Structure 1
Amino acid sequence: MYFRLGGGTLKGVSKPGHIVWSRAFISGGKLHADLGVAEVVKLPEAETARRWRETTPQWPIMHAVFKGVTRDQMMARHKSNHIQVVYAPNEKQARRAARIKATALAELGLEVHLCGNARLLD
């Protein structure tokens, strides 16, 4: 067990493809959501192993390219690298899914922040 008091984790490498990513958080007493599109890429096994050695090898890893969002920008909002992702068949469908998700989150009362080169409109 990785967690001293119980629980578990599943080690693996995320599959390549286009994704919609988001994360919800509270700031100033209000619910917010960062949201964008990205692409998960396949890296050589040696590079994946190197990255696992630099982080926590018991955890899953995703090699995602967030166009228009730097690592420091990603971490600056609330210091979490945990995101929710959903895969789409292609980039165009990922942008469409991001528009739908952004609208749904806004309708639920969250303040939505589109991040990076979202290009949500075709």
Structure 2
Amino acid sequence: MNNKEIINLLKEERNALDLQRHNIKETNRRLNLQIRRLTDDINRMSPAVKKRFAPRLRRQIKISRENIDNNNYYLLRTWSEKNIRWENKCTDNGICWFKLTQLIEEERGWGIYI
């Protein structure tokens, strides 16, 4: 496998991770909207209605917040993997994969983001 093939494989993996990260961020955005709507619903309820329905809505809010936390943990972990994972792997001619990843970032102008 030559360097060009390795670079293309790294680009494909990075693109797949970026798409996955985009989808997770969109899911977090929707969950935040859901939390905001549920909170507004609870705040608009009369005391009698709130006593009956608020606990269920609060459970939904708690589950949504846990999902967001899990998604954020996954985003942080994948960010670390895609920037650090190749550090110790080198090709036959001694070029380390981490350096190739850095090269791709410079060619594409990708920055670090979480």
- TM bin, normalised by shorter chain, reads under 0.3
Give the alignment's TM-score, normalised by structure 1.
0.26
Which is bigger in relative contact order (C-alpha 8 A, separation at least 6)?
1
More helix by share: 2
Larger Rg belongs to: 2
